[in-house]
Amino acid sequence: MSDIKKIKDDYLNKLNNDLNIESLNQIKTELFGKNGKISNSFKKLGSLPNDERKKFASDLNSIKNELQDKINSKLQEIETKEINSKLENEKVDVTLPEREFSRGKIHPVSQVIDEISSIFSEIGFSVEEGPDIENEHYNFTALNTPDNHPARDMHDTFYIDNNKELLLRTHTSPVQVRTMLNGKPPFKIIAPGRTYRSDSDQTHSPMFHQVEGLHIDKDINMGHLKGCLNYFIKSFFEVDKIKMRFRPSHFPFTEPSAEVDIGYEIKDGKIVIGEGDKWLEILGCGMVHPNVLKNVKVNPDKYQGYAFGIGIDRLGMLKYGINDLRAFFETDYRWLNHFGFDPLDVPSNYRGLSR
């Protein structure tokens, strides 16, 4: 017994020393090799008397386990140390720049269209589109603006043919006409898109974007129009309160017609929407004229509703502090980078419109 106790104590001592892998293997051989001390001790078992053998075997086994555990943990310790020292040499300067990545951008007009679509989706509108080239009938006549109507002068129209039959649409309102002609009421749509007028200066671009809105049902009145626009403006500008003013105006395709102003003030050189005592005109709207409904085969005695048209670019300028309309269409890489949006920033109801 004392023999194996001594072996145990000796070797536990040795194992507590600082060892390398070779000396550890040496110890392993000394103990558990063919002629190792523990191996030899097991060989003794057979020669022991029965009464001693059982106890000796049990002691020897526990010593063997203890030493083996110690060797294993020592082995792990050495390995860890070796890996650590190896890794120490592999150190890199992590402050070097990462591998190149490229980041794309979404144009503010697209972003604003998505914001608008998201807001109107919430209150049940769907999105319709129409062609950029229109004929004179859809752009004017069907919208209660006959050829001899002076309101036509308010639109500087680009023509595609000499007979002035084909033109670039001057507003998104022809989509109203197409939508109603192709379907049956009720209608509840918005129609964003490109529009064109031959006008170019700081605040006018020959191409710009509008969104048309149309809601026709049996009992839609001006109160609904006010409610819808109030909801939209508040949501779009992400403010709780909005000052809004409806002013009587005139569009041939709506009656009564209104222009809508929102309140604003200038704070630190920036426009703040919703407060202040200045008024900013942002859209035109009204109840769809019975003549328009008749033109699209909707019975004005049964159905009524509102329409509105909003300048998308202007909304974007107001919300994101863009000063020059023309810059929208000039593809300046610096401008696109600054005013563009990350493609993953998709405006939605549950995430919110913008970061």
First and final C-alpha spacing in the chain: 77
Residue 308, class by beta-carbon neighbours within 10 Å (0-12 exposed, 13-18 middle, 19+ buried)?
buried
Q: Among 32, 42, 56, 158, which residue sits at the site for other proteins (rule: CB under 8 A)?
A: 158
Task: Output the smallest distance, CB 73 to other proteins, in A.
Answer: 37
> Using an 8 Å Cβ cutoff, are 278 and 265 in contact?
yes
Neighbouring residues of 93: CB distance < 8 A, sequence distance ≥ 6 = none
**Residue 180 is which amino acid?**
M
Does 280 participate in binding other proteins (rule CB under 8 A)?
no
User: For residue 186, is the peptide bond before it cis, meaning its omega torsion is within 30 degrees of 0?
Assistant: yes
Task: Output the smallest distance, CB 266 to other proteins, in A.
Answer: 19
Q: Among 9, 69, 82, 332, which residue sits at the site for other proteins (rule: CB under 8 A)?
A: 332
* Candidate ranges 5-13, 29-37, 73-81, 132-140; the one touching other proteins (CB under 8 A): 132-140
> Using an 8 Å Cβ cutoff, are 297 and 177 in contact?
no
Beta-carbon count within 10 A of 289 CB? 20
Q: How far apart are CA 355 and CA 353, in angstroms?
A: 7
Q: How many residues does the chain have?
A: 355
Does 276 participate in binding other proteins (rule CB under 8 A)?
no
* Candidate ranges 18-26, 46-54, 80-88, 151-159; the one touching other proteins (CB under 8 A): 151-159
Does 316 participate in binding other proteins (rule CB under 8 A)?
no
Does 350 participate in binding other proteins (rule CB under 8 A)?
no
Does 327 participate in binding other proteins (rule CB under 8 A)?
no
Binders of other proteins among 25-54, rule CB under 8 A?
none
Place of tokens 């192709």: 182
Does 324 participate in binding other proteins (rule CB under 8 A)?
no
Of 62 and 198, nearer to other proteins (C-beta) is: 198
Q: Among 14, 271, 336, 354, which residue sits at the site for other proteins (rule: CB under 8 A)?
A: 336
Q: Among 23, 26, 250, 265, which residue sits at the site for other proteins (rule: CB under 8 A)?
A: 250
* Candidate ranges 17-25, 34-42, 216-224, 267-275; the one touching other proteins (CB under 8 A): 216-224
Neighbouring residues of 146: CB distance < 8 A, sequence distance ≥ 6 = 140
